[in-house]
Amino acid sequence: MGLDAAWIRDHVRDLPDYPKPGVVFKDITPVLALPEAFAAAVDAVMEPFSTVEIDKVVGIEARGFVFAAPIACRLGAGFVPVRKPGKLPWHVEREEYALEYGTDVLELHRDAILPGERVLIVDDVLATGGTANAALRLVHKLGGTIVGCAFFIELGFLDGRRQLGETEIHSVVNY
C-alpha cells in the first residue's frame, strides 16, 4: 500500500484547541491503527534514507518511538530514545529548549551514540522545530554525525526547518 498526501490528510484527525487553545493537534492514531497504513507510513518516513548508511536511529519521546523503532529494525541500525527528563536510568546529556511559555528538557544516554556514528533523527511531527533542534544538539554533544531528520507530518507554516540549519529534512506530508 502506498500512502498519498490526500489519504493521509483524510485519516489524520485534527483536534482544534488541544492540548491548549490555538493548537490544532494532529492525531495520527487512526493511521497507526490500520495495519497496511502503519506499515506504509513507516516505509514513507524512512524512504529517503533507505539506501544511506545509518548506525543509530534516534526516536523522540513518545510518538517518535512509534516510527523510529521499526525504521531502525528495517535499516539494520540501533534504536536510541531521546526522553523527557528523569525517564532514562543511566548517565545522561541534557538539552533545554524553548516552549511558547517557559522551557523544557530532553535527555539522551551518554553512551547511546559513539563519536562518528551516523544518526537519523525521527519524530512524528515537525512543528516549531525546537524539539528536533534539542535532539540534534544532544547527538552533536556525543560526537554523532547527523545524516538527516525524518518526520511523518510537517507543519510547514511554523517553519521548523529554520531551526535545523543545513540538516537534510524529509517529511511525508506538509501542512
Active-site residues: which are they? 63, 100
* Residue whose CB is less far from ligand AMP, 49 or 67: 67
Q: Which of 160, 164, 169, 171 binds ligand AMP (CB under 6 A)?
A: 160
Shortest separation between residue 64's beta carbon and ligand AMP, angstroms: 6
CA atoms within 13 A on the CB side of 61: 14
Q: Which of 131, 126, 77, 75 is nearest to 108 (CA)?
A: 131
- Per-residue binding string, ligand AMP, 114-133, x by CB under 6 A, is ---------xxxxxxxxxx-
- Residue 63 near ligand AMP by CB under 6 A: yes
Residue that the C-alpha cell 539494520 belongs to: 76
Shortest separation between residue 4's beta carbon and ligand AMP, angstroms: 20
For residue 111, give the C-alpha cell.
553512551
* Residue whose CB is less far from ligand AMP, 111 or 166: 166
Q: Which residues pair with 65 in a beta bridge?
A: none
**Single-letter code of the amino acid located at 48:** P
**Single-letter code of the amino acid located at 111:** D
- Residue 25 near ligand AMP by CB under 6 A: yes
Shortest separation between residue 138's beta carbon and ligand AMP, angstroms: 14
The strands making up 56-60's β-sheet, listed across from edge to edge, are 78-82, 56-60, 118-126, 145-154, 169-174
- Binding residues for ligand AMP, per CB under 6 A? 23-26, 60, 63, 123-132, 160
